Chain A
Amino acid sequence: MTFSMKRVMAIFQKDMKDLSKNIYITSTLILPLFFAFFYGRMDNLTIDVHYMVINLVLAVVTSFVQCAIIAEEKEKNTLRGLMLSPATLPEILGGKSLVSFILTIGTILICTMLTDYEPVNLSLVALAIIISILFYIALGTLMGLLSRSVVEASVLIMPVIFIFGFSSMFQPFAEEYPILSVVDYLPSIQLIEVAAAVESGSGFADVVGNLAIIFVWVLVAMVATAIVYKKREMDE
């Protein structure tokens, strides 16, 4: 099995063109942009607010777009044609992940411009965000494999938005209910911790633990995706 970049690009371009005309999916981009615009009007934003917007982008844009474009292929009966073509599954998912990735980066850039967020150490923050994106892409792929239609996808995405997008809101409760301290290990909270540490002048060595935790999430999501895929293949 050869991995052909040409086919990945073909799928990437096709999905980009398709998505640019898909109002249902692109309209979800408006939600984080609206939040960013809304908060951007206020002064002295804390790092938590900046990252609430970024985490929202990750949940709403990255996961949902990835999930929806996979689910739509199933809904419209086009996945079969794709599977019978020379394109292999890694190529198909690669092309789709690239779409979600670029869309996410673009939305995050616009959002940070709107909220005037300027990290002290850009490369470190960028690294943390990119690892997070990998997690959300894997999560989106997992949900895409589970859902059969775009409508199902938008139902599945709800808990994801709730858990990962608004997780910073649970933190105050964690002191009251110790069980909720698990929340601290969520990738979204870890991302905020990295950013907060960077703001206070920490270097790579200080945040490597947090990055590792996010990376474990990436691995868990990828393994879960692979298991679901294998299981589905057996069922059918």
Chain B
Amino acid sequence: MAILIMKDIEKHEKDTILFPSFHLEIAASEITAVYSTLNVRSTILDMLTGSIPSINGSIMINGVTLANKKSDYFSQVGICYFEDGLYERLTIKDYFMFIGRLYGFNQQYDSIFRITQLHEKRNKQIKELTFSEKKRVHYGKLLIQSPPLFIFEEPDLNVDMETKRIFISITKRLQEEKKAVLLLTGNMETAITIADNVYRLDENGLRLIQTENAEQTMELSEDEPNEDNKDKEPQPIQFNKIPTKVNDKIVLFDPPEIDYIESNDGQANIYIKGEAFTSSLTLANLEERLQYVGFFRCHRSYIVNLQKVREVITWTRNSYSLVLDDREKTQIPLSKTKMAELKDLLGLK
């Protein structure tokens, strides 16, 4: 049964279309991510809370609409805003107890402390916590609230590794508890690593980004003819520079300079020291060219330069990320099937 149903939602701003009409449903124990710009994201959130009317469409959460009964509607949904405030002078324990009283929470707070791993800091004032720990307090607030639909806005932006791990385990837990989860993020890596269904929402509408399940079947059919080709005609000379377009110029990059490549709507974006360059080649083309110089297709929409990978993180049994050796410690999703391939490549069992 669908917990969240957004029907015919659209938004025009003056002359431009922010996003055309779309339809989104999220069922229980489903984690859905919507990848979008900040502007789109805040509009969606405002529509969900009713501060921007959704004129032609309707939003229904667990069978309740906002027009129906406001208090009922808001009891169905918990929103973790990126810029939510906390009562900084309260201790975590006092804060959780306050939220608990507000929402009529009657279980043990210990489990909340355990899940968010804030047990040792429970008697500390919130203002003494780090940014990542404050984020965990936000997660805890939502867990106490425990609505049927959880909405997270940029839940893991700028948080440390420990907190990200905790967040991922929280989402898995919510899934087991048959909750629906909606992630709104501008970070593709987060969306792919955490969610089952990833959508991109922009002026072209809401489109599903294919992730693992769809990928497995497609890979099989694609791979076989490729390998035949390779055996037949090994290419004698490799021109190894990768062309990209900057305005009207064509800039050539040496493969070792490249950190990773992300597919964006059929176009490949090449990331070099945190900057993105558009390439005219497709991801498949690039993969073919680069696989001999230490590049690896780690996900349907990503190619990574293995020389730059510092760490492979296992979030849960089947969600992984690669951490690069750059200043931002960029994280790149690694799909389950590719994990096995990577292990082979590295000579691990």
| A interface residue numbers (CB < 8 A to B) | 1, 6-7, 9-11, 13-14, 17-18, 21-22, 76-78, 80-81, 84-88, 236
Contact = CB atoms under 8 A, between A and B. Distances in A.
A52 to B, nearest CB: 32
Contacts of A84: 49, 74, 79
Interface string B67-84: 000010011000101011
A10 B94 contact: no
Contact of A13 (B71, B98, B99, B103): B98
A175 B100 CA distance: 58
A86 B84 contact: no
B94 A14 contact: yes
A86 B99 CA distance: 10
A1 B86 CA distance: 26
B347 interface: no
A88 B70 CA distance: 11
Given A13-B101, A86-B75, A86-B104, 16 more contacts: A6-B101, A7-B101, A7-B102, A17-B89, A18-B89, A21-B89, A77-B81, A77-B83, A77-B84, A80-B84, A81-B81, A81-B85, A85-B103, A85-B145, A86-B102, A87-B102
A9 B94 CA distance: 14
Interface of B: 49, 51, 71, 74-75, 79, 81, 83-90, 94-95, 98-99, 101-104, 125, 141, 145
A86 B103 CA distance: 7
B71 A1 contact: yes
A14 B85 contact: no
Nearest to B141: A81
Contacts of A87: 102
Contacts of B75: 86
From A7, A9, A236, residue with most partner B Cβ within 10 Å: A7
The 4 closest A-B pairs by CB, nearest first: A77-B85, A10-B101, A76-B85, A78-B85
B84 A81 contact: yes
A14 B88 CA distance: 12
B102 A78 contact: no
Contact of B81 (A6, A10, A80, A85): A80
B103 A14 contact: no
A88 to B, nearest CB: 8
A81 B82 CA distance: 12
From A1, A17, A88, residue with most partner B Cβ within 10 Å: A17
